[in-house]
Chain A
Amino acid sequence: DSGVTQTPKHLITATGQRVTLRCSPRSGDLSVYWYQQSLDQGLQFLIQYYNGEERAKGNILERFSAQQFPDLHSELNLSSLELGDSALYFCASSVDGREGGYTFGSGTRLTVV
């Protein structure tokens, strides 16, 4: 157990639907990162939050949004889902994002049918 908790582990939904992925960071970590891992594109950075505020944004689609709550857990919302959104979504956390490795959760596997 890495200390980063992601739920659910698996999600199957239909095109056009909306889903929410949840992440609880490791205790003491203030920064949360979301990555998308697909077979053909490796790990793509989506977005980073630090202590409740957005710090960096990557190639995140407008249909996707995220937030970090006062208790530091984070949610990634994916809407108007398309088949191409099927992927593994990882959350990672770090103390402050500086010069250190991240701790990853075990991921949420999203399948859009």
Chain B
Amino acid sequence: GNSVTQMEGPVTLSEEAFLTINCTYTATGYPSLFWYVQYPGEGLQLLLKATKADDKGSNKGFEATYRKETTSFHLEKGSVQVSDSAVYFCALNRGAQKLVFGQGTRLTINP
């Protein structure tokens, strides 16, 4: 079945550092890939998505590229801020199938 594996957290960085959160997936066919973010005390919000190979999703300075050859969708940001502290979830779905989430990565940015 479809599955998503994220790098284990927690991840702690200093402000303005470069961020990478790794995500790899297993799926048949060509799934759509997503990153969601959950700020403390809130629900999940869609951060970015990519629907086909080599697509790059981007939002709020975050980027992720759909790499079919490595079945990966790593999240990157060039310079993180304290306000980026949250839990980040990688996810996939295909067609009308339910969204499948990774286990989440907790990110803490220190000033």
> Do A42 and B101 contact each other (CB < 8 Å), given the known contacts A96-B96, A98-B96, A99-B93?
yes
Chain A's closest residue to B41 (CB) is A106
Q: Is the CB of B42 within 8 A of A106?
A: yes
Taking the closest CB of chain B, its distance from the CB of A108, in whole angstroms, is 10
Measured as residues with beta carbon below 8 angstroms from the partner, the interface class of chain A is: 20 to 34
Tell me the chain B residues, 70-111 only, with Cβ under 8 Å from chain A.
89, 93-104
Count: A-B pairs, CB below 8 Å: 55
Q: How far is the CB of A21 from chain B (nearest CB, A)?
A: 13
- B46–A102 CB distance below 8 A: yes
Residues on B with beta carbons closer than 8 Å to the beta carbon of A98? 95-96
A97 and B32 alpha carbons, distance in the complex (Å): 12
Q: Is the CB of A45 within 8 A of B100?
A: yes
Q: Which residue of B lies closest to A46 (CB)?
A: B98
Given contacts A58-B98, A97-B96, is CB(A104)–CB(B32) below 8 Å?
no
Instruction: Determine the distance from Cα of A58 to Cα of B97 in the docked complex, in whole angstroms.
Output: 11
Q: Which residue of B lies closest to A91 (CB)?
A: B43
Of A45, A100, A106, the residue contacting B98 (CB under 8 A) is A45
* Contact A104 B95, CB 8 Å, known A42-B103, A43-B101, A43-B104: no
Q: List 8 A-B contacts (CB under 8 A).
A: A33-B98, A42-B103, A43-B104, A99-B93, A101-B34, A101-B36, A101-B99, A105-B43
